Amino acid sequence: MEKELYSRQKLLNLYTDIDVHVFGVGGIGFWVALQVAMTGIPQLSLWDNDTLEESNRARLPFPQSVNNMPKTEIAQQFINTLRPDLDIICYGKATELSLSVIPITNDTIAFDCTDNSRAQQIIARWARQHNFAYIKAGYDGLSLSVTSKTSSWSTQEEETIGYTTTPSWVVPAIMAASIALTKAFVNKDLEVHGNIGTILLREEM
């Protein structure tokens, strides 16, 4: 069944035998988790200590009945309905202590979808220590950023790097997630910053 499921994707020669950690399972992080699951990775770790709020559902495909449930648990249940064989592990807040006890594998990608500079520094340092790929994805209104650098996104508040609570929309959230996967699986050097209405424009030859 799995051979048939990924028969067309295999034509792209994507390397999927990797473990993925998604930090922040909200507007961007859930879509990252869903897409990597659909790509066929063997193991997915979800990091978030937050619960779902009503305003989150504007960017997420969840019913009102799951409000106030842990975001990681909701995402795990949703994704496992599509990929029941995928090993999904749920964690709470990413701290230096909690990350220090995680089993280390050779091929790992850390998708940082958090919106806090302190958390991003901890995650990025952990990734560097173990030579993991680190990809930070964020958005603020209609502007998005996908990068391997923790300091490239700037907002008016020094302590917040990434997307803010408002304004927000599902489209840049999904775009940021998709670009993050493109960086992970297609072009590791890809760096994207800017307004969603212009970043896809190409100069005329």
Burial (CB < 10 A; 0-12, 13-18, 19+), residue 161, is buried
23 neighbors 44 (Cβ within 8 angstroms): no
pLDDT per residue rounded down to tens, the chain (205 residues)? 677 999 999 999 999 999 999 999 999 999 999 999 999 999 999 999 999 999 999 999 999 999 999 999 999 999 999 999 999 999 999 999 999 998 887 799 999 999 889 999 999 999 999 999 999 999 999 999 999 998 544 444 444 444 545 688 999 999 999 999 999 999 999 999 999 999 876 544 3
Cα–Cα distance for residue pair 50/66, rounded to 1 Å:
13
- Decide: pTM greater than 0.75: yes
Q: Quick check: is 171 in a domain?
A: yes
Question: What was the pLDDT predicted at 202?
Answer: 54
Q: Quick check: is 204 in a domain?
A: no
**Total domains in the fold of the chain:** 1
Q: Quick check: is 82 in a domain?
A: yes
Q: Quick check: is 95 in a domain?
A: yes
Q: Quick check: is 2 in a domain?
A: no
Residue range(s) defining the domain that contains residue 184:
16-195
CA angle 113, 50, 179 (to 5 degrees): 20
Cα–Cα distance for residue pair 185/153, rounded to 1 Å:
22
Q: Quick check: is 8 in a domain?
A: no
Q: Quick check: is 51 in a domain?
A: yes
Q: Quick check: is 85 in a domain?
A: yes
Amino acid symbol at 171:
V
